[in-house]
Amino acid sequence: MRIYRKFYALIILSSFFVAARGQDENKEAARQIVEIANEAYFNLRVILIANEQYVQAAEMDPDNIEANYMAGRTYLETNSKASATKYLLRVYEIDPNYKYNILYMIGQGYQYGLEFEKAIDYYNRYLNKLGENIRRSGEDYTSPAEVKRRIYECQNGIEYVLAPREYVIENMGSSINSEWDDFAPVVTADESFMAFTTRRQDGNSNQDVFDDMLYYEDVFYSKRSGDTWQMAQNIGPPINIIYHSSNLAISADGTQLYLYKSQNGGDIFLSEKNPDGTWSEPEALNDNINSTFSENSVSISPDGNTLYFSSDRPITSDKTDLDIYYSKKDRNGNWGVAKNIGPVINTEFDEDGPFIDYDGKSLYFSSKGHKGMGGYDIYRTVYDEETETWSEPINLGYPMNSPDNDIYFVSTRDGKRGYYASAKADGLGFTDIYHIRLADLDAPPKKVEAKKIETEPEKPVIEEPIVEQPIPVVLILKTIDKQTRQILESDVSISRAGTNSSVAVRRIGNGLYEAQFANNTLSQYDITVQKSGYMYKNIAVTIPAMTTKSNKIAKQILLDKIQVGYSQVIRNIYFDFGTARLKDSSNPELNKLLKVLQENPRYLIEISGHTDNVGGKDFNQWLSERRAQAVVNYMIKRGQSEGRFIVEGYGEEHPLASNDDEEWGRELNRRVEFRVLQFKQ
């Protein structure tokens, strides 16, 4: 019987916790965390949350090849791409053939980390592997052409990093940027007004998410007061609608705002500012500009007569990448037939984000081609009116450009500064907006030279002890339907056991919730999960004390749908000893049950009482009936119909466990149960 009790206890605890207590437990915990992370990544597409979980699993069990691979793979989709290398190298050490292009992915991690020589080495090793194998396809296959392009980017990267430009680059901070994508900044000539596009949740016109599980694009704006940009706000209708809305350009005086709308494949619209400060209903540009393909970005010349934009309209049957086009106004003020700007600027790769400077002849744009160092790089080309040609584009170099995406540059009127969007590791979110003080772009970059350090007599160095700060414990909860395994949006609350002290719970995805605990000692907490149409669930959880190491606990909470035949023990109901008088401490639990009854009024319910075997059998029978009736009386006083209840007392007849001892037997047997009998007519 003692073995049975221990087994029963382990079942309860294993359903409540994913905690690390030993090597085997670590492996099992890591496996469960990977399952939750897979749901977050493949179904919910909450990449950052999934990445955190994969990394946690990989650290708990370094031999878990799936955890390590997915940690590396998801890192390559964040701003911390260089962090992928550590985990991908582990995969290669465990099984070099786990993924066909694992060498290529390791090369990517090194490239994003500016370790170009190492990246080239792994890219070449992958090319050698391709040469030794029959050509193949599939998700884990990368073509030789793409690898060779990567090697070329690394060679360029070595050159640019050794000859950096003297830029001063500053993140625009939390008044503009968010934890989501923020990009496409446009400013008026006097820099008093900025509009930009964001995919943030707070303030979004649509609180639902798009197919990629990110929030819809919205246009936000900020006004500058002195040297400070004010907190950005949603620009509102009619600019923003409940679907994608993105700004593309603004006139120098701030009266015309060009927009992208995701209709007809993606078209360019124009809204004009009314005298009262509101914006007019956006109107689509004519068919010479908009096509059945996508028009992604736009810039207007200072005189307003030439429009530059990007589009993926095909110029040949097999070319579908983004190119830059231009159109001139005719004598009637209409935009004329758009023309491809030509092969000096456009390549076989994507070109996007054109910006024509205030001088009317310097064109900035971003390209995945040309002499880049990875992703989109920003270039400048200058138009020669005499020859009617554009100069060879110049890469604006490092550190403005990086192996990741750098795009949507706009210059200020004085030509000394600008704004652009970049996916940098120090950013607040995926893509942030930066302010840049430009170097002399026409001057040759200075080569990096080793600095001569004048030696001085050594002084004794007194090392201050490094005091590491404790890191809060993170609890990740996932709520799902017990029968169908479908994810459920639920109401989750957490409080410290025995108190009314609540813990903040943050929704991080569909059916995914996070709470943080700053305990100095091991502490008990109570979790309550409620969902309309489902029985609420109470769970006790033990949270360990904070340490200087990251500690995450992942839990799945299964909810039962209210239906005929369902039954559950109602815990946390307390009676005075030997009586059927409910204690006030029972009210929170009874109110949760009341809410379930109110949400499901057409079910006939049985409330039954049970006791242990202490005391006389007849007394226990009487006591069990009276306690069940006390619960029903509580519900009737609060508006429930007496006719929907059947009261039963079973005394000591149906024990859940042995009555041998108090801890694992008699306590479990003293209970009140809730059971759905039938659907009321």
Q: Report the length, in residues, of the chain.
A: 681
Please report which helix (H) or strand (E) contains residue 88, including its range.
helix 84-94
* Among the listed residues 658, 677, 678, the one whose alpha carbon sits nearest the alpha carbon of residue 669: 658
Residue 491 sits at φ, ψ, to 5 deg, of -95, 115
Angstrom distance (rounded) from CA 27 to CA 33: 10
**Residue reference for tokens 């790769």:** 349
* Among the listed residues 516, 531, 624, 541, the one whose alpha carbon sits nearest the alpha carbon of residue 578: 624
Question: Which stretches in the chain have pLDDT values below 50?
Answer: 1-21, 450-459, 461-462, 661-665
Are 67 and 80 in contact by the 8 Å Cβ rule? The answer is no
DSSP state of 176: T
Are 246 and 259 in contact by the 8 Å Cβ rule? The answer is yes
DSSP state of 494: E
* Among the listed residues 218, 209, 249, 222, the one whose alpha carbon sits nearest the alpha carbon of residue 236: 218
Q: How far apart are the first and last CA of the chain?
A: 45
Are 516 and 473 in contact by the 8 Å Cβ rule? The answer is yes
Looking only at the bridges linking them, the beta strands covering 168-171 and 182-187 are unpaired
**pLDDT, position 497:** 80
Looking only at the bridges linking them, the beta strands covering 603-610 and 645-649 are parallel
Are 330 and 337 in contact by the 8 Å Cβ rule? The answer is no
User: Could you tell me if residue 669 is left (phi over 0), alpha (psi between -120 and 50 degrees) or otherwise beta?
Assistant: alpha
* Among the listed residues 7, 46, 109, the one whose alpha carbon sits nearest the alpha carbon of residue 476: 46
Sequence-distant (6+) residues with CB within 8 A of 452 are none
Are 91 and 66 in contact by the 8 Å Cβ rule? The answer is no
**pLDDT, position 300:** 94
Angstrom distance (rounded) from CA 539 to CA 14: 12
What are the strands, taking DSSP E only, across 156-217?
168-171, 182-187, 193-198
Q: All domains of the chain, ordered by start, with CATH?
A: 21-161 (1.25.40.10), 168-437 (2.120.10.30), 470-560 (2.60.40.10), 562-681 (3.30.1330.60)
Are 284 and 272 in contact by the 8 Å Cβ rule? The answer is no
The two structure tokens encoding residue 431 = 């893509």
The two structure tokens encoding residue 668 = 């479990």
Amino acid in position 58: A
Angstrom distance (rounded) from CA 249 to CA 187: 8
The distance of Cα 373 from the centroid of its chain, to the nearest Å, equals 26
* Among the listed residues 586, 593, 592, the one whose alpha carbon sits nearest the alpha carbon of residue 572: 586
Half-sphere exposure of 423 (CA within 13 A, CB side): 20
**pLDDT, position 577:** 64
* Among the listed residues 555, 469, 468, the one whose alpha carbon sits nearest the alpha carbon of residue 515: 555
Please report which helix (H) or strand (E) contains residue 10, including its range.
helix 2-16
Helix axes 47-60, 65-75, angle to 10 degrees: 140
Angstrom distance (rounded) from CA 37 to CA 49: 8
* Among the listed residues 221, 274, 264, 257, the one whose alpha carbon sits nearest the alpha carbon of residue 243: 264
| Radius of gyration for the alpha carbons in the chain, expressed in angstroms and rounded | 32
**pLDDT, position 680:** 64
What burial class does residue 431 get, using C-beta atoms within 10 Å of its C-beta: 0-12 exposed, 13-18 middle, 19+ buried?
Answer: buried
**pLDDT, position 384:** 95
* Among the listed residues 326, 328, 323, the one whose alpha carbon sits nearest the alpha carbon of residue 345: 323
Residue 338 sits at φ, ψ, to 5 deg, of -75, 145
Q: Give 660-669 pLDDT, tens digit per residue.
A: 544 444 556 6
167-188 burial, b if ≥16 CB within 10 A, otherwise e? Answer: beeebbeeebbbebbbbbbbbb
Q: Give 310-336 pLDDT, tens digit per residue.
A: 999 887 656 668 999 999 999 999 999
- Sign of the C-alpha dihedral computed for residues 421, 425, 426 and 430 taken in this order: positive
Looking only at the bridges linking them, the beta strands covering 523-530 and 537-543 are antiparallel
**pLDDT, position 442:** 72
Angstrom distance (rounded) from CA 664 to CA 82: 51
The distance of Cα 293 from the centroid of its chain, to the nearest Å, equals 29
**3-state SS track over 306-363:** EEEEEECCCCCCCCCCCEEEEEEECCCCCECCCEECCCCCCCCCCEEEEEECCCCCEE
**Residue reference for tokens 């009127």:** 413
What are the strands, taking DSSP E only, across 451-596?
473-481, 491-496, 502-503, 506-509, 512-517, 523-530, 537-543, 552-559, 567-570
Are 309 and 290 in contact by the 8 Å Cβ rule? The answer is no
Please report which helix (H) or strand (E) contains residue 671, including its range.
strand 671-679
The two structure tokens encoding residue 516 = 């943080």
**pLDDT, position 19:** 42
- Sign of the C-alpha dihedral computed for residues 618, 623, 624 and 626 taken in this order: positive
**Residue reference for tokens 């569909």:** 510
Are 188 and 411 in contact by the 8 Å Cβ rule? The answer is no
Are 172 and 397 in contact by the 8 Å Cβ rule? The answer is no
Question: From the CB of residue 659, how many other CB atoms can be counted at a distance below 10 Å?
Answer: 15
